[in-house]
Each structure stands twice: as structure tokens, then as C-alpha cells.
Chain A
Amino acid sequence: MVDLSVKIGSVTLPNPVMPASGTFSTEFGKAIDLNRLGAMVTKTVSRNYRPGNPPPRVSEIEAGMINSIGLPTKGLQYFLDVQLPDYKQYTPPLVCSITSENIDDFEAMARDVSVPGVDIIELNISCPTREPGGGNFALNEEHTYAVVKRCRAVSDKPMWAKLSPNAGDVSAVAEAAEKGGADAITVSNTLLGLRINLDNFKSRIGNGYGGISGPGVKAIVLRMVHQCSRFVSIPIIGCGGIMRGEDAVEYLLAGASAVQVGYANFRSPTAMVAIIDGLAKWCEGRGISRVSDLTGAMVDHKPRDVYEAGMMGIS
């Protein structure tokens, strides 16, 4: 039996696989056993009702999707009154994703969701279609530090900061999140992109730009996880294009302690369970007894002498 449990700061997860915020709700319980998951992550909660962005909200692209859904939410009170009790029927730890467009309200949100039943708070500071100071704090170190520090100060819950791949220097933003008091970072949200309809020369997305996710971004985000892991000592949750157990292994090797699955949930409601099973099977095949041993186990990359490398076999 492979020990799949992982520790993210003070929290132990039964396994390292959880949904990415926005791609999951207890509605998945119609198709899979939610108690198999490492954690449950809510869709991002804002204080007030938000209808979201104008449709079309999504388009297929090569190797994944582009979306601008616009964080629709029924608001904080509905989350506390209806959604939270619904989540608590299930055993995995609950990660509550929150956001706001201004820092004062973000702080208040962090306080307001620090209630029994919420095990972890994920600060969605990286919605890609927002402005640097207006919700997409993670584009810049100062904004990130400020919002994480303010939220950290008002809550005893473990707090994760979800970073943006659209920042110029993601590892500097990661450092800022750690300095601000984050217990872990999620790397990352979607990559800002565009797709144009050749029939009418308009964007395929109702909101104009959208965030790219799916297997096409995996190599990019994997590199970001690896870079961040060299700059921070807090755990990293890897998120980007994970489709199978082997993808999760790659993220762990690059330095992640756990992973989030987004796009794959849309392709297959059973994807997360298949990834958990695939991860266990892979570890078994390699004689690895604890999945947590994989974190950061990538061999340090030291470029070889070019002529020496040119004499190597192919592997």
C-alpha cells in the first residue's frame, strides 16, 4: 500500500489530488464518490452575488480551453448558509476560495469565511481578466504582499495564495506571498489568452480575453512550480494541465506537495479519481512507499559539457 497522504503546513490531506477552484462543486457527487478526493475546493466566493461574464464563456483551443466565466457566485451569505453545510456531508478537507476587487473587502472576506467547517482559505488573487490592483493582485509583488498580509492577520485558518502565471516574475510574487504569511502557494491560475473567430473577426470569448488551461499549459506551469520551489520554503500546490497520474508525479518531482485538477474535470468527471489511482499505481510500480517522498525529488539539473553530452546514449 502506498501512503498517499501529504502535509500542507499544518493540514494533512489523505492524498495530494484536489479540484482547481471553479471546476468543482458537490454536484460532482452525482457521478463520483467525493470522499476519494484529497480535498474539496469551492468555486471562488465573493461578498455579493455576481452573474459572471457574458457568454460565450469558453472555447476549445489546441491542447485545452480558454475561458472567461467571470467568477459567478451567489455570494458569501449563500455560501455560509447553503453551500458550506452541503460540503460538510463529505470527509475531505474543505478549501474555501475567496476573492475581492479591493483589499479592505478581501481582508473582511478572509475574516468572514474563517468559520468552523472551512479548513483552508485559498486567496484567489489571480483572476486573469482583472487589473493588477483590482483583483489580480498576483501580477505584482507589492500588491501580493499587501493582500496576503492583511488577510493573514485576521484569520487563524491555513491560507494559500493562488498565483498568476501572467506575472513578469512569478517566483518574486511567490516570495512576496510567503513574506506576507501564506502557508502555501497554488501555482497557478490560467494564462491570459485570446482566440478570434474568423467568420466575424470577433473574440470567441464574450469577455474578450480569457484564461488558458489544459494540457497545453502543463510544461509552462511545471517550470513555474520548479522555479518557485527554489525561492520559497512553504509548500506549493501545482495546478496546470494535469490529466493523469504521471502528470501529478511530474508536479511533485518539480517541487509541489499536492496538485489541483481543472480542465480534466470537464473532460471526465472521473478524472480526479483516475489520477489518484494512477498516482498510486505509478508509485507501486516504482517501489515508492510514500508519495510525499516525491516532492522536490527532481534531480538537480547540471548542464553537461556539450561534447560529453553528444556522446551519450538516448534515454
Chain B
Amino acid sequence: MSTEPFASAPFIVGTSVPNTSAPGSNPDLPVEETLTKVIAHTWVNDEYKHLVLTASAKSLAAQPGQFFNVLCPSPDEGALWFRRPQSIYRLDHANQRLEFLYKIAGRGTRGMATLEPGDDCNIVGPLGIGFRLDPKWKNIVVLGRGVGLATMAPISQAAAALGIRVTAILSARRPDLALAADLFEQVGTVIKVLDTDGSSDAANVEKILLRLIGEKKADAFFTCGSNRLLQLMKRLGKQHNIPGQAAIEQIMACGLGPCYICVRTFEVAGKKELRRVCVEGPVFDLQECLGW
């Protein structure tokens, strides 16, 4: 079997030089298919893994909320036939690293979980439209649940870098699933709400959000990972006229737009429309999201 890493060898990702671009990639274009090396790959808890990859200059130019389409190894005797979209957890510019924090949820992520340090990993990206920050904002609230928290980390860091104060509400089933609390603590105030003590209950999260609104700590809302919390933030955002953004996921194929596989329903001025998560998102206006 060939060890060519790209389309000419669809079944395996071979060995090669890190950060080599696939034939046909062009340095002037914003997206590239590239081979990265796995630097580290560790369990965060019994459901989530943290993958650290080498990052090319183009990968490092990615914005918070953008994603990469990852060619995962197979977890079983079959093959995987689609890439798996992964939102950025962290871009480490100093060490030139791209990091994902993901939940093992299906065949693709089970396969991804088998990557070991030193392995090649073929990624396409950066893709999609990320979060937007208005420099006029002084305080933002990020609200995420479970693995959705990973997606909220880069925007929280970017906000802090602009001098915007961040309140991060981390929702999880148990304390060890409140991901990246240390990272959020570096850039803002952390409020953990958990299923184990009932504090993740929607009514309690609503109370917290109302208090933040009252204290003028909510110039904008950001959310990912929970339909229930999205609906809550959308309702309060509408009532209190607070702009919001939500990161959304969907089964995806090409990642570039043409296939129209990753569509979801949105609503603008009472009219429903389909949008592609890969190019019109994955970050959308919260008031236009319908949840799932």
C-alpha cells in the first residue's frame, strides 16, 4: 500500500514531514489541507481527550470559533469515510500548537482517540466563520455546557486580550466535566453550575444571568453545547436587548460549502431558512438560532 498521505491514498495517513501541505494547496489561499504531527494526546477525564498538534502559520491564523476538519484513523476494522469537524480549543502561538478538546461520542471521535504522539494527523482548515467581538463591549458572558465549553475558551481569551471582562458560566453533569476551568479562571470570573448539586438547573442559571445583567456585566452573550441553555440565553437576550452568538454543530462532509449537507434551520423575522454550518457558521446570531 502507498504511504502517500493525501487523496491518492485514501485509507491510511502515512509518515511525512510535519506541516506539509497537500499537493494543490496554495500559500495564498486561506484554507489548507495539511499534515500535522501529534505532540500530545491525553485523557482529561473518562469522556474527554485533549489533542495537541503542530500548527502551520495558516492554522495559527485561525480565529476563535473557527474549526478544522480532521481525517480520523478508524477505531475498528472498517474505514471512516468523512472527516470530523473539531472546533479550536486553543492556539498556542508561542509553541506553534493547535489544540482540540473533544468528547468521545461516536466512531469518528473513537478513532481520533487512537492517535498517539508522533502520529500524523491530516487536517483541513481553518474553516467557517468564528465569533465576533465588538471592541465597545466591556463585559461579556460565556455560557457553555460539557464539551461546548472547549469552543468557548478561545473567545474568552480573545476578549480578555482586548480588555473585555469575561464571566464564564460552566455547566456540567459533575465537577470533573466542567472543562477548562483553569483556563477560564485566567481570563475572567468562573461560575460552575453542576447537575450533582442541582445548580445547573435552568431556573438557577437564569437567576445568575439576571444578576449579571443587573450588575451590567452582560454586554454580549456567547453559548455552545446545550439546547436548553441556548434557549434560555436567547430569551433573556431578547428581553434585555443583549446581542448573542452561538456555536452550532451538524453532520458535515466537505467543510467548504458546496455540498449543503450540514444545513440547520434558522429563523429571521419570523421566516425559517436553512443555513450551512460549515461556511455560514459555525457561529450564528443567537436570536436567529432555533436550537435542536
CA distance A267 to B9 in the complex (A): 11
Residues in B neighbouring A244, C-beta threshold 8 A: 7-10
Which of A54-62, A148-156, A167-175 interfaces with chain B? Answer: A54-62
Which of B131-139, B183-191, B253-261 interfaces with chain A? Answer: B253-261
For residue A47, give the distance in angstroms from its CB to the closest CB of chain B: 18
Residues in B neighbouring A29, C-beta threshold 8 A: 29
Q: Within 8 Å of chain B (Cβ to Cβ): is A3? A: no
Which of B75-83, B86-94, B195-203, B282-290 interfaces with chain A? Answer: B75-83
- Within B78-119, which residues are at the interface with A (CB < 8 Å)? 78-83, 107
- Are A33 and B7 in contact, with the CB atoms below 8 A? no
Count residues of A near B (Cβ-Cβ below 8 Å).
48
From B9, B82, B107, B256, give the contact of A269 (CB < 8 A): B256
Which of A137-145, A183-191, A225-233, A271-279 interfaces with chain B? Answer: A271-279
- Are B10 and A43 in contact, with the CB atoms below 8 A? no
Count residues of B near A (Cβ-Cβ below 8 Å).
40
- Are B257 and A36 in contact, with the CB atoms below 8 A? no
- Are A58 and B258 in contact, with the CB atoms below 8 A? no
- Contact A23-B259, Cβ < 8 Å, known A56-B251, A264-B7, A267-B81: yes
CA distance A43 to B259 in the complex (A): 8
- Are B274 and A72 in contact, with the CB atoms below 8 A? yes
- Are A270 and B6 in contact, with the CB atoms below 8 A? yes
- Within A196-252, which residues are at the interface with B (CB < 8 Å)? 214-215, 243-245
- Are B261 and A243 in contact, with the CB atoms below 8 A? no
Question: Per-position contact with A for B15-34: 1 when CB-CB < 8 Å, else 0?
Answer: 00000001111100111110
Question: Per-position contact with B for A19-45: 1 when CB-CB < 8 Å, else 0?
Answer: 000111101111111001000000100
CA distance A72 to B260 in the complex (A): 7
- Are B10 and A243 in contact, with the CB atoms below 8 A? yes
From A31, A55, A64, A245, give the contact of B31 (CB < 8 A): A31
- Contact A58-B279, Cβ < 8 Å, known A31-B25, A268-B6, A274-B23: no
Question: Per-position contact with B for A45-71: 1 when CB-CB < 8 Å, else 0?
Answer: 000000110011110111111010100
- Of all chain B residues, the one with the shortest Cβ separation from A71 is B260
In terms of DSSP, what is the predominant structure of the interface of chain B? loop
- Contact A215-B259, Cβ < 8 Å, known A266-B82, A274-B22: no
- Are B261 and A58 in contact, with the CB atoms below 8 A? yes
Q: Within 8 Å of chain B (Cβ to Cβ): is A114? A: no
Q: Within 8 Å of chain A (Cβ to Cβ): is B172? A: no
- Contact A269-B26, Cβ < 8 Å, known A52-B274, A244-B7, A278-B8: no
- Are B261 and A23 in contact, with the CB atoms below 8 A? no
Q: Within 8 Å of chain B (Cβ to Cβ): is A265? A: yes
CA distance A172 to B279 in the complex (A): 42
Residues in B neighbouring A69, C-beta threshold 8 A: 259-261
- Are A270 and B22 in contact, with the CB atoms below 8 A? yes
- Are B80 and A60 in contact, with the CB atoms below 8 A? yes
- Contact A31-B78, Cβ < 8 Å, known A244-B8, A266-B259, A275-B8: no
- Are B71 and A27 in contact, with the CB atoms below 8 A? no
- Are A62 and B78 in contact, with the CB atoms below 8 A? yes
CA distance A25 to B259 in the complex (A): 9
CA distance A24 to B253 in the complex (A): 12
Residues in A neighbouring B246, C-beta threshold 8 A: none
Q: Within 8 Å of chain A (Cβ to Cβ): is B140? A: no
Known A-B contacts: A32-B25, A58-B253, A269-B255. Give 9 more (CB < 8 A).
A23-B258, A23-B259, A25-B258, A33-B26, A52-B263, A58-B261, A65-B253, A269-B33, A273-B24
Counting from the closest, the 8 A-B pairs by CB-CB distance are A273-B24, A271-B7, A27-B257, A25-B258, A270-B22, A270-B24, A268-B7, A31-B31
Q: What are 28 A-B residue pairs whose CB atoms fall within 8 Å in the complex?
A: A32-B24, A33-B29, A43-B258, A43-B260, A52-B263, A55-B250, A55-B264, A60-B82, A62-B78, A65-B253, A72-B260, A214-B81, A243-B8, A264-B10, A266-B82, A266-B83, A266-B253, A266-B254, A267-B7, A268-B7, A268-B71, A268-B124, A269-B254, A273-B23, A274-B7, A274-B22, A274-B23, A277-B24
